[in-house]
Amino acid sequence: MIIIKLGGSLSRSDSLINCLNAVEKSYQGRAVVIVPGGGAFADQVRSAQQYWQFDDKTAHHMAILAMQQMAVMFNGLKPNFTIAENIAAIQDQLGRQKTVIWSPDVIELDNAGIPASWDISSDSLAAWLGKTLSASELILIKSADIDSRLSLQQLAEQHIVDKAFCDFVATADFKTHIINAQNWAK
pLDDT, tens digit (0-9, with 9 covering 90-100), for 7-16:
999 999 999 9
Task: Report the pLDDT averaged over residues 22-33.
Answer: 94
pLDDT at 185 over 80: no
Distance of CA 61 to the CA centre of its chain: 15
What's the confidence (pLDDT) of residue 28? Answer: 86
Nearest to 48 by CA among 66, 21, 23: 66
pLDDT in tens, 122-181: 999 999 999 999 999 999 999 999 998 999 999 999 999 999 999 999 999 999 999 999
Instruction: Provide mean pLDDT across the span 100-128.
Output: 96
Q: Phi first, then psi: give them for residue 131, nearest 5 degrees.
A: -65, -45
**DSSP string covering 146-171:** --TTS-HHHHHHTTSS-TTHHHHHTT
d(CA 103, CA 109): 11
Q: Are strands 137-142 and 32-36 parallel, antiparallel or unpaired?
A: unpaired
Cβ atoms of residues 19 and 140 within 8 Å:
no
Domain that holds residue 119: 2-184
- The total number of structural domains in the chain stands at 1
Say which CATH number the domain at 168 has: 3.40.1160.10
Instruction: Tell me the pLDDT of the chain averaged across its residues.
Output: 96
Q: Does 30 have pLDDT greater than 90?
A: yes
Q: How far apart are CA 103 and CA 100, in angstroms?
A: 9
